[in-house]
Structure 1
Amino acid sequence: MGDAATMASTQSTFGWKVLHDVLADAGAGYGRTALVTGPMAAGKTALLNDFAEYATRQGIRVLKANCSPFGNTGAPGISRQLLGEHAPAVDPDGSATVLGITRLARSTTVLVLVDDLQHADRATGRLLTRLSGEIADRPVLLAAAVRTNTPHATHWLSAELAGRSAFRRISLASLTAEQVQSLAAADFGLPLTLDAASHILRISNGNLLITTALLRDAAGDHVVVGPSYAQAVLDCLHRLDPETRETAEAIAVAGGSSSPRLIAELADSEPEAVEEATRAMVAAGLLSDGGFRHPAAREAILRYIPRKRRALLGRQAAEALNADGASAEDAARWLDSFENGLVPAPLTECHSGEEFHLSGRRLETLLEARDIVGTIEQGIRDLASRENQRVMELEAGKLLVAADFPGLLRQAVGDRDPLARIDTASVRGARYAAAWALAGTLTGRTDARRTMSLANQALERGIFTDEAAPAVLAALRAQIHSGSPQQARGWCDRFLADDQNRDTTPWRAQLTAVRAETALAVGDHAAAVADAEQALSQLPPHQWGVRVGGPLATLLLAHTLAGTPADATALLRRRVPASLYETRYGLCYLYARGHHHLASGEHLPALADFLRCGRVLDNWGLDHGWRIPWRLSAAATHMAMGDYSKSVEYIVQALDRPRPPARETGGDESRFDLREEIFERLREAIGAPELPTVVAGLRNGEPLQNREHTDVPRYKIYDRNAICLQQLSPSERRVAVLAAKGISNQMIARELSVTVSTVEQHLTRTYRKLQLTDRRELRSRLG
C-alpha cells in the first residue's frame, strides 16, 4: 500500500485497495471486472494510470485503451490499442480480440484498462461484455472507468458489466471538507481550517482537479482564485464532449440567468440536451444554479473562445434576449457590457509629472493623465501669486491633458472661468486661450461666441511648431465643436501649406486628421476619406496611440455617409488601444461605429454604441456641454426597429437638452410641432446614408427642409397621445395632462377643486394603466 500515498484522497485510496484485491483474485485464476465511476476530474484516470504503473512493476501484462468522442475509435480501434500489431484485421463480433487477450493470460496475469467508457459505441460495448464473460476462470482483470452525469453516459454498458459475476464497482464521489484538509496537508503542506476547506468546496464542488488548483494558488489559509484555477477550468472544458463544451461556451456568453432555450440557440442544440449537459457540468464542479461557480471560470472560458466566435455569440445572445422580451435598450446595454467590459483594460506603468512636457507628451491611459493633472495642480498650489505667467502655463497644460481624457475635465476646470483679458502675443497666452476654447466648449462653460474668440486669439499667432502644435490643434477642434468647421479648415490649409513644415511629424499627421474632420463637417466626404487615410499613413499605429481614434472615426463616418459600408467594415477589423474609450477620440469612434452598424441594419449593436456614448458623457459630467447627438441617433435606431414610442421618448429627451437659440420654442403647441417635425425628418432619413448628417443638423438647430412628399403617411404624436388618454377616465385625464406639464399635486388639486389625496390616487391609476413609473415618464409620454 505504499503507492497509495500518492493518491489524492481517502476515497481514491479505497479505490486503490479494491483494485489491489481484485487483481490478487485474478492472479489466482479468478477473473474479475471492476468499474470505476465518478464525475469529471474525480481522479478516475489518475487511479487507473497509477495502478497500471504498480501492476507493471509487479510483472503483470498491462493492456490499455481509451474511448474517445473524436475519430472512429470504435471496437476495431479499441482492439488495436489493446493488442497493437497482434490485433485481428477483421473481427466483426469481437471474438478474435477476446481470444488474443485470453491467449496472453496463459503465461501471465493480464490487466486490461479501458478509460472514458462513456464514449464507447455499441460494438465496443459488445466487445467488453464478451471479454468480461470469458475471463471468469482466467487470470485477467478488466478495469474500466466511466464518467457519471454526462449527456452521453453509457448507462446500458455499465448495467451489462454490473450484471456479471465477480464484478466490483468503485465510486469516486466528490471530495469532503475533511478530505480537502488532508489533501492540503499531505501534498501542499497547508494547515487549512475547516472553514477554508469548505470555501474551496463551494468553488470546486469537490472536483479533484479544481480543488488541487485552488490549493496550488492558496496563500496560507487564504483561498485565492488565481491562474491555476483558470487553467483547471480550461482543462475540464477540454475533457467535455464537443456538444457539452459548446453548451459551456454558450452559458459563459449568455450568463447564468438565461433560459435553456436561449442557451440551446447559442449552442445550436436542443433544450433537453442543454439540461443534460448542465447537470454534467454541475457534477463536475463548473456550474451551480445555472451559472459558473466563480466569475473567474466564466472569464477563463470567454478568453478561450476565439474572438470572432465570441463576438458572433454575443450578438446572437443580444438578439435572442430582445426576441425573448427584453427591451432593445436592455439588450443593447448587455451587448455593450459584454463586448467592452469582458476583460479590464491593462494599465501601463504610471509616469511622474516631471516627465510631462507642456509641448505634449503622448499619454495613453486615464491613469497617466490623472497623475499628470494631479501633479500640475500641486505645482500650481505651490507657486507664489507673483508667478502668474507660470500658473497660466500650467493651467493650459492641465486643460489640454484633460481635454484628451474628458473624465478629468470637471476637476481641471473646476468653478473657474477663463481670464477676461489674455495676452495672446506670448506662447503662454496663446496656449491658455486655445486650451480654454476646447475645454470651455466641451464642458459648456463658454458659449459659441466666446469659444470662437478664444480660438481665434490662439490661432492668429499663425505658428505651427512642435511647441505650439497641441494648442493649435485644440483651437481648431474648438472651432469644429462650436459650429465653424469651414473656418477651421482654412487654418488647416494655411498651416499645412507652410514651407517650413513640409516634413512629416506626429503633429502634422494630427493636423491632417483635423482637416479630415473639417471636411466631414462641411459635407465633403471624399476629402474627409482622403485626408484621414493620408493622416493614418503618415504614422505607424504605435505612434498614434489612443489618438488613432480620431482619424478612424472620421473614416468610419465618411464611408457610412458615402454609402461604402464594406470599407467601414474593414476599418473595424483594426485593433485599437484598450484605453481608447477613456478618451475624447474613443467617444467619437463609438458614435461613428454606431452609425455604421445602423446603416448595416445591425440595430442592437448600433443602439449599444449610442447608449454607451450617453453613459460615458454622463459619467464625465459633460452631457450638457458636449454636443454629440447620441439621443437623436438612439431615436433613429428605435425607429428603424419599429419602436416608435421609444423613438419619441428620445426625441423628447433631446429637446429637453440645451439647444441653439434657433431651436428655442415659445409654447407647448410649438414644442409639439417641433417634436413631430423632428420625428418625421428622422423617419425619412432612416436607411439613407445621409442619416448622420440629418442627425447632426437637427442637433445643431438647422432649419428643417421642406419635404417633397407631403402625402406620405405620418406618425402623429398627437394621435399617440390621444390613444394614451383614451385609456383614462375624464378625471384621470385632467390630472394627467396637468401633471405632464410639470404642475405640482397641490396646484392641480387647487385648480380642479379636489384634495391632494385624490390627485395622488388619479396619478397612481394613470401610471398603472399607461405602464409608467413616475412623472418623468408621464411627461415623456404626454408632455
Structure 2
Amino acid sequence: MVERSEILEELGDLLARSARGRGAIASISGSTAMGKTAVLNVLADQASSAGSTVLGVVSTPDEREHAFSGLAQLFQAVHAHAPEAAGGGVDLPGGVRLGGPAGVAVPPASGVAQDELVAVARQTHRVVAALAARGHVLITVDDIQHTDAATLFCIRYLAQRLPQLPVTLVLTRGTLLVDEQSPRVLDDLVYKTSVRRFHLGPLSREGVRELAASLVPFAPPDDFVAELHRLSMGNPLLVQAVVEDGLRAASESAAARVLSGADDHGGRPDPGDRLSAGHVFQQVVLTCLHRLGPHAERVARCVALLDRAATTLLLSRLSGIEAELVRRCLRLLTGIGVLDGTRLRHPGMRQALLREMSPDEATELRHRAARLLYDDGAPPQAVAVHLLGSGPLREGWVVPVLQEAARQALADGEVAQGLRCLELARDCCSEEAERLSVMSQYAYGQWQLRPAHSAQHFLALKNPITAGKLACGDALRVAEGMMFYLHFDEAMKVVDHQNGDEGAVTALHGTRLLMASEFLGLLDRPARPLPKVQLSATSTSEVRARHALVRALGRGADEDAIALAEQVLQGSHSPEPWKLDGFQAALLTLCYTDRLDAARKWYEVLAADSGRYEAPGWRGLLESTGALISLRRGQLADAVRQAETARARLSGRSWNVGSASALAVLIEALTAMGDHEAVVKLLAVEPPQALFQTRAGLHYLYARGRHHVATGKLNMALTDFLGCGTLMQRWNVDTPALAPWRLGAAEVWMRLGDRERAARLVEKQFAATEAGLTRSRGMVLHSLALLQPAAKQPPILLDAFDRLDNSGAWYEAASVLVDLSRAYQQLGETAVARQTARRAWRLARSCRAESLCQSLLPTKTPRVAEAKKPASPGGGHGGDQFSFDRLSESERRVAILATQGYANREIADRLYITVSTVEQHLTRVYRKLGIRNREQLLDGDHAVPCQAV
C-alpha cells in the first residue's frame, strides 16, 4: 500500500460514518495495475474485521453480455453471510429465480424490459436493506466498467437509496477498452455529487524506493531507484516484477551486492545493467496489455515491431486500426508505464511482445511494415530490418532495397548486417543477373569480414563476368578483389572484358587509379588503356583519395594532393556514419608527403572509431597504415605491434597485398630494433613474384635490403635496393618518400669502399628531393654529410637533424646524432661529442632502437700499441700514457661512460649493475690511472684514449 495510506484512511473514515446510519458511495479510478483491487481488498479486510458484512462483486469483460451476472455474485455473497436475509430470492425475467448458494443468473431470451429491471432492482434493495438492518454492509464492485447493464441498473437504483441505510458502496473503475463507450448509467452513478472519488496514479520516485525496499532487506541506492522509476513510470506491478526478477537472478547475497550498486570489485556499475527484465517482468507487461483489450495489444505489438520508426499514422496503417483509436491506445499504454511517446520503455518489453506473436502474424506484420516503410521513402536499412525478420519475399522492389541496405552497412563497417541483407537478397532473386550482382557485393562483404580467406568469392565470379552477365561497376569491384589477393591474370581478364562505354568510364577510371597507386606493375597490362576522368565535386571520397595518392607518388610533396587527402579525412568528423573506402589512401598520401604529424593525428581519429565496427578487413588495413606511420616516426615498438595486429587480421595461407604491406613494416622495424633472428624467420617464406608488381613489393624489397645491411650481407642488400629502384623508375614513382633506395644503395657502396658510386647516388637523390619532403630531405643530407671530410660534416648533420626532428622522424634523427657525435670526436671536440652521444642514446632509447643504442656503448675497448713510450720526466704513474690498458674490461666500460658525462645511476642502468659497483670500479680506475676525479679522465696524460671512446 505504498503511497495509498491516505486514500485508505479517508475510505476508513467513510466506512465509519456510514456505519452510523447514513450510506455512502466511493469510486476509485486509475490505469491498469495501479493497485485499485489491492486497495479494495485491504478496505474489505478492515471492514470485515470491524464487524461489517462485506459483499463483493468482480466484473470481467467475458461476463458483460450476461445479464444479471454481477447481481448473481452479489446474491451469492448475501446467501453466504445471511441466508435468511435473502428470503425467497429474486425473480428474474423469463421465470428464472436468483438466490440460493449457486447464485447463477441465466440471461433472458430477449432484452429486459424497463419495468422488469425496476422490479428486480426493488427486490435487490429489499434484500440489502434487510441485511443492513443487522449491521453495516460494505458492497464492493471491482472493475465496474465491465459490469453487465442489468446489474448496473440495479446498483444505481440501490445507490439512489443508500442515504437511508448503513451501507457503503465502493467501486473501482479501470480503463475502458479503446473501442468502448462508457454506459450512461455508469456515468450517472460515478459522477453523482455525493460520490467520493479517488484516483490512483503511478508511484513517485520515493514511492518506488519504498516499494523496492519492502521487497528486499536493504535500501536500494539512488541510481537504481531512478532507473527503476524511469523504466516502470511508477507502475507498482512493474516495479515488483523487476525486483523479483533481480532476486531470482542471484542468491540473496549476490542480489544484495547487485541492488546496492557494488560489483565484485567494489565499483558501481551502470544501473541499467542491474535491472533484470526477466520472465516475471515480461509476463506482467503482457498481462497489463491483455487487460487493455485486443486493440491495445495489437498496437503494442506494432510498436514493438516498428521500434524507432513508429508513428501514429504508420501504426494505424500497419495494425488496421483507425488513427483515433490508435491514439487512445497509445495514451493507455503510456498510462500503465509501457510507452514513452511511441517507444517502449525497456528492451524486455519489446522482446516479450515480439515473442508473443505467432510466426504467421510476425511474418505478415513484418512484410507489411517493410512495404509501408518503403512506400513512405524510409531509409533502406530501416526497411531491411523487417525483411530480415520475415524471410524471403519475391517482389520486384525487395532486392534493390536489400542491396542498398547492404551497401550502406558495408560502407559503415556493419559487415555482418550487410552480409545478412545480401544472403536474403540472394534468396529473393528471380533473375540470374540480379543474383550475380548480389554475389559481387557478397564477395566484397566477405573480404571485409574474413580478409584472409575470401579470394574464392571473387574468383567464382570470373566466368559469369567474362560471359557478360555482370554490370561494369560490380565487375570491376570483383577485379579489385582479385588484385588484393594477387590473382592478376584473372583480374586483367575481367578488366579487359569491360567495353569502356560512357557508363563504364568512371568505374574504369577508379580502377586505373587503384592500379597507379597500389598495383603499379599492372598499368600497362590491360588490352586498352584505361580512361582518365577529370576530378570533380561529385567524385566519391574513394576516387578523390586514390587521385591524391597517385599525385603524391608521382610528384612528391604535392600541395594539391595533401589538401585533397585532408579533405577526404575531414569526412571522419561528419555526423553521418563515416565511409571506410578511401581513408587508407588518404593516410598514405600524408605519409608519402612526409606529413607525419598530420598522418598520425588522422590515424588516431580513425582508430578510435574503428573499434565500433565489425570490419576486420578495414581495420587490418588501417593498422597496417598506422604501422607505417609509426615506423617513419621512429616509434618502433608501436610499429611492430600494429604490424603484427594487421597481419593477424589479414594473413592467410596465401599472400595478399594487405598482409605483405604489414610484413614489410614489421621487417624494417624489427631490423631497426636489432631483432635480426625474428626477421630471419619472417623472411623464410619466399614471396610470390606477383608481389613485386605492387607498391607493397617495393616496401618489402627495401625492408629486406635494410635487414641485409644490418647483418652484413651487403651484396644481397645492394640487389634489393637496386631492384627496388628499377621498379620505381619504371613505374614513375621515384620519390624517396616511398622508398629511399638510392640512400640504401649508397650506404652499401660506402661499406664496400666505393665512395665514388655512393656519391653519385646521393648527389642524384639530393637533386631530386624537393624541400617539401622534410623527412626525405633530412635523410639525404645525412648521407651527403658522411661523404664529406670530418671537418665539413657537423653543419650538414645539424641541418639534417633539424629537418628530421621537425618532421617527427625520430629514429633517423637519432642516427644523425650518432654520426654527429663521431664527427665531433674525430675533430677532438670531446665534450661536445660526449653531449651529442648522450642525446643520441636517449633518442634512440625512446625509439626502442637497440642497435643504435649498442653502437653508442663500448663493447670491446681497443688495445693500444704494445710498445710503450718512456716514462715522463716526472716519473711514476703520471708518465705512463698507456696505463689505461691496465684496466679490466668492466673498468674500461665504466670509465668510457663516465667520460661521456653519464652519472653513476645512468651508468648502472646501462651496464645492468648497481650504483655501488660503479663507484667501486671508478675508485679502482682512479687508483690505477693515478688521478683523483672523473674530470682528469679527459685531460692530461691519463685521459681515456679517443679511440676507446
If the length of structure 2 is used for normalisation, what is the TM-score? 0.40
Q: Which has the larger radius of gyration?
A: 2
Structure with higher RCO (Cα < 8 A, 6+ apart): 1
